[in-house]
């Protein structure tokens, strides 16, 4: 707890003058660059597997770039030093880069003031207040400092400096820096936990338990990142869908929107892969088999990659059995398996390359009526792309595994997709194998699944998402997300009301009786669960279908979900298909 002076102000403020932090919110906030932040996440995730020095340097390089600063750095406490407020500049970027390792012997530093105040602080011309900055050149016009949290005490501080009087930091820079500081905390905690586990290596059981806890912390942290990234992706995705409806007939605009859509799909896939790793860890990534047609599953997977393959002028050949093949499998998860493998083939095959997909399966009509044994379907995918090096091939299914050549590609992914694919194949009691003669020789993937059954079905007819107009209440503290989704639903003919807080939603339902309410669970103040309970108590909402929205994978499959007052749960951002399914469940009105 900060030590207060007699006047009620922390000691540092009386000695060095108060920061000018209030200016952050007074200044015009710059527009967020979510694409740059997604790419930063990509880089930071990889940095978890390198040394502390490289990982911290990656962090400050990203802080420098995202904040457009002149200098950036991390000040960590010297935990073994005699003076508790001694800091060392462990990683620097920009014009201060040559000062790495500089030790601040006293507590007269921006980091000390920031930690004592316990929140991000902005300092104007800090060299005039702190003697420890005298070695910094050129002049520092502003310094934004945020604490790096930790237990039992903060690790230190992350900061950016401006050396140009025309550069001013704002609340958007504070948000970015705070997010990076939280990542720094998690990364340092993971590194410390691993170091502690290795130090206790003599006790093998204790070491295994510690490493397991580290892995759980890492997966949970990645899931949290995925949740946070869904917030900006949701309004972007729905706004693009609305823009496409509004731009119907304008070829130039639709062409530009198509480019944006491809990039958003790539970002959504990265986030979905991250969330699936969390679902696996929590045992929530399950399969729900049902009777279906293998041909429909493959065609759905093909639809997800055909546009990209055509853009790359690749030859995509598919061979299916001449007869309908009935399977007992989770169609959605099996589509995910095939589309992921196809996407990898498209991604790592050069322009003009060739990709072949072959499905071999017995004719269900030849299976005796009294034989319930599931027969095997074999899916073989070959490409003449970049191939896989022999030393990488044994680890291809490991989490975050990638070859060095794959890391250099702009769309290299996070290296978690094949890990999820193997999990889903195993969940279907199947096997997957990957073969390659080396880099530049192409790749062959074989998936064997015991899913073919006798039951015969006709191919499903094309469906539409046409649904009757409904009264919809959107409740989310993210204004951009609700605005974009409201526009899209309104264009489809629904009557939509929006609220950013639970109290605002309760006020709206006094005069508006929604058929369905989409409610964000994690709102400040009154959260989604409390709002759902209060809506249930109102007679005008007795028939309202309450749908919870959450970015966390495990929240949507919680066995106690029915006790929360919601009729169902959806992951943010909800797809149009998910919303259509929920709306179709409404009674005719």
* Domain co-membership, 179 together with 41: yes
Q: Dmax of the chain from CA atoms?
A: 90
* Domain co-membership, 85 together with 188: yes
The CATH number linked to 479 is 3.40.50.2300
* Domain co-membership, 508 together with 573: yes
* Cut 0.75: pTM above it: no
Residue 220 falls within a domain, yes or no? no
* Domain co-membership, 75 together with 195: yes
- Burial pattern 26-58, b for ≥16 Cβ within 10 A else e, equals eeeeeeeebeebbbbbbebbbbbeeeeeebbbb
* Domain co-membership, 386 together with 510: no
CB of 473 within 8 A of CB of 446? Answer: no
* Domain co-membership, 424 together with 497: no
CB-CB neighbours of 319 under 10 Å: 11
Residue 215 falls within a domain, yes or no? no
Count of domains forming the chain:
3
Residue 494 falls within a domain, yes or no? yes
The CATH number linked to 141 is 3.30.450.40
- β-strand partners of 450: 376
CA 65 to chain centre: 21
Residue 462 falls within a domain, yes or no? no
- Report the C-alpha gap between 470 and 467 in whole angstroms: 9
CB hemisphere CA count around 112 (13 angstroms): 25
Ordered per-residue pLDDT tens for the chain, 589 residues = 344 433 445 555 545 456 899 999 899 888 888 778 888 877 887 777 778 888 899 999 999 999 999 999 999 988 665 555 688 999 999 999 999 998 886 567 899 899 989 999 999 999 988 888 999 988 999 999 999 998 888 999 999 999 999 999 999 999 999 989 988 888 888 777 777 766 666 566 665 666 666 666 665 666 566 555 666 666 677 777 777 777 777 877 777 776 676 556 656 655 666 666 656 665 556 677 888 889 888 987 888 788 888 889 999 999 999 999 999 998 878 888 998 899 889 989 999 999 999 999 999 988 888 888 999 999 999 999 989 888 888 888 775 445 545 444 444 444 457 888 888 899 899 999 999 998 889 999 999 999 999 876 544 433 334 567 889 999 998 887 778 788 878 877 888 999 999 999 999 999 899 999 999 988 888 999 999 999 999 988 888 999 998 766 545 444 444 456 788 888 776 766 677 777 776 655 4
- Report the C-alpha gap between 73 and 145 in whole angstroms: 10
Domain boundary among 166, 181, 199: 199
Residue 249 falls within a domain, yes or no? no
Domain boundary among 385, 417, 452: 452
Domain assignment of residue 356, given as a range: 290-452
* Domain co-membership, 374 together with 479: no
* Domain co-membership, 337 together with 446: yes
Residue 185 falls within a domain, yes or no? yes
Residue 96 falls within a domain, yes or no? yes
408 burial via Cβ count (<10 Å: 0-12, 13-18, 19+): exposed
Residue 6 falls within a domain, yes or no? no
* Domain co-membership, 27 together with 110: yes
* Domain co-membership, 504 together with 392: no
* Domain co-membership, 448 together with 346: yes
Domain boundary among 182, 199, 216: 199
* Domain co-membership, 448 together with 312: yes
């Amino acid at each position: 707890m900060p030590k207060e002076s007699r006047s009620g102000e922390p000691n540092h403020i009386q000695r060095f003058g108060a920061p000018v932090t209030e200016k952050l919110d007074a200044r015009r906030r710059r527009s967020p660059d979510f694409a740059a932040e997604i790419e930063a996440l990509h880089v930071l995730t990889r940095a978890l597997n390198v040394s502390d020095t490289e990982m911290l340097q990656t962090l400050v390089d990203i802080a420098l770039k995202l904040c457009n600063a002149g200098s950036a750095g991390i000040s960590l406490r010297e935990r073994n030093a005699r003076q508790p407020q001694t800091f060392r500049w462990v990683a620097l970027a920009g014009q201060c880069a040559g000062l790495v390792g500089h030790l601040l012997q006293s507590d007269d530093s921006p980091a000390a003031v920031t930690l004592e105040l316990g929140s991000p602080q902005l300092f104007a011309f800090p060299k005039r207040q702190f003697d420890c900055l005298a070695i910094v050149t050129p002049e520092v016009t502003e310094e934004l400092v945020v604490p790096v949290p930790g237990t039992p005490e903060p690790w230190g501080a992350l900061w950016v400096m401006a050396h140009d009087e025309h550069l001013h930091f704002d609340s958007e820079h504070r948000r970015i820096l705070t997010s990076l500081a939280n990542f720094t905390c998690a990364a340092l905690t993971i590194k410390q936990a691993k170091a502690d586990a290795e130090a206790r290596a003599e006790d093998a059981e204790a070491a295994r338990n510690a490493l397991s806890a580290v892995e759980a912390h890492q997966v949970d942290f990645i899931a949290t990142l995925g949740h946070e990234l869904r917030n900006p992706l949701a309004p972007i995705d729905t706004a693009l869908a609305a823009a496409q409806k509004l731009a119907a007939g304008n070829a130039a605009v639709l062409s530009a929107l198509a480019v944006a859509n491809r990039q958003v799909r790539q970002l959504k896939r990265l986030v979905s892969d991250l969330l699936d790793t969390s679902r696996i860890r929590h045992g929530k990534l399950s399969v729900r088999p049902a009777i279906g047609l293998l041909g429909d599953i493959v065609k759905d997977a093909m639809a997800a990659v055909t546009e990209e393959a055509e853009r790359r002028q690749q030859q995509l050949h598919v061979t299916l059995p001449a007869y309908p093949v009935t399977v007992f499998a989770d169609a959605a998860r099996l589509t995910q398996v095939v589309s992921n493998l196809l996407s990898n083939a498209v991604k790592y095959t050069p322009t003009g390359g060739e990709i072949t997909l072959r499905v071999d399966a017995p004719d269900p009509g030849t299976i005796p009526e009294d034989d319930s044994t599931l027969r095997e379907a074999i899916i073989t995918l070959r490409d003449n792309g970049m191939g896989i090096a022999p030393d990488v091939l044994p680890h291809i299914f490991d989490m975050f595994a990638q070859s060095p050549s794959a890391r250099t590609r702009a769309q290299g992914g996070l290296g978690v997709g094949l890990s999820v694919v193997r999990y889903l194949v195993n969940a279907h009691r199947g096997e997957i194998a990957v073969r390659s003669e080396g880099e530049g020789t192409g790749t062959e993937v074989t998936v064997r699944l015991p899913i073919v059954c006798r039951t015969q079905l006709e191919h499903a007819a094309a469906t539409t998402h046409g649904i009757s107009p409904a009264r919809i209440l959107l409740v989310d503290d993210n204004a951009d997300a609700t605005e974009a989704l409201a526009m899209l639903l309104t264009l489809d003919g629904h009557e939509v009301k929006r609220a950013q807080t639970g109290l605002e939603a309760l006020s709206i339902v006094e005069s508006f009786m929604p058929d369905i309410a989409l409610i964000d669970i994690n709102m400040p103040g009154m959260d989604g669960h409390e709002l759902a309970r209060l809506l249930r108590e109102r007679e005008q909402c007795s028939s309202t279908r309450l749908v919870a929205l959450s970015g966390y994978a495990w929240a949507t499959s919680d066995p106690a979900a029915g006790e929360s007052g919601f009729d169902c749960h959806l992951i943010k951002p909800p797809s149009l298909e998910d919303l259509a399914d929920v709306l179709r469940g409404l009674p005719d009105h």
